[in-house]
């Protein structure tokens, strides 16, 4: 039989349980929001990177006279550095993590795409 004190204790524990569920839901929402912000930040960084690469390529075409064929040959050569023509250079994909935020660093970038901290090795560093 549940006495008045037992009922009060049960109600209190239910309240605690409900509050911790609420806190967990808030935390999950915060994590989801943070992930969405990180994804948006990464997308903007990729867009910016694309624009910089495009600018560099147009300058090289205009000032040096390089052609799309030159670029394609170079991309192919880099792709083949790991022995496989698969659209990626596996010698550069060993994941390093940011010293500041601990997230995965995209190779070849001077700064962490997540927090902006300086990456080890700097831009276009090749660890070979
Ligand atoms: Zn970072």
Of residues 77 and 105, the one with the higher pLDDT is 77
Q: How far is it, in rounded angstroms, from Cα 13 to Cα 108?
A: 54
Q: What protein residues have CB closer than 5 angstroms to ion ligand 1?
A: 98, 100-101, 112, 114-115, 117
* 39, 53, 55, 73 from 50: Cα distances, Å: 16, 5, 9, 19
CA of 71 to the centre of ligand 1 (A): 31
Q: How far is it, in rounded angstroms, from Cα 88 to Cα 19?
A: 48
Of residues 104 and 53, the one with the higher pLDDT is 53
Neighbouring residues of 10: CB distance < 8 A, sequence distance ≥ 6: 2
- What is the per-residue DSSP string for 59-94? HIIIII---HHHHHHHHHHHHGGGT--SSS-GGG-S
Rounded mean pLDDT, 115-124: 71
CA of 42 to the centre of ligand 1 (A): 12
CA of 50 to the centre of ligand 1 (A): 20
pTM, entire model: 0.49
Neighbouring residues of 113: CB distance < 8 A, sequence distance ≥ 6: 41, 42, 45, 105, 106
Confidence of residue 121 (pLDDT cuts 50, 70, 90): low
Rounded mean pLDDT, 84-95: 73
Give the tens place of pLDDT for each residue, 33-75. 988 988 999 999 999 999 999 999 999 999 999 999 999 999 9
């Amino acid at each position: 039989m549940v006495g008045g004190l037992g009922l009060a204790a049960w109600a209190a524990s239910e309240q605690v349980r409900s509050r911790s569920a609420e806190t967990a839901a808030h935390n999950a929402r915060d994590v989801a929001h943070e992930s969405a912000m990180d994804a948006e930040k990464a997308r903007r960084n990729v867009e910016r990177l694309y624009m910089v690469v495009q600018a560099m390529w147009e300058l090289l075409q205009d000032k040096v006279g390089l052609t799309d064929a030159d670029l394609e040959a170079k991309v192919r050569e880099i792709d083949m550095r790991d022995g496989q023509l698969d659209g990626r250079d596996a010698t550069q994909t060993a994941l390093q993590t940011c010293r500041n935020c601990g997230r995965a660093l995209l190779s070849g970038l001077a700064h962490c795409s997540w927090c902006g901290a300086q990456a080890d090795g700097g831009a276009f560093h090749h660890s070979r």
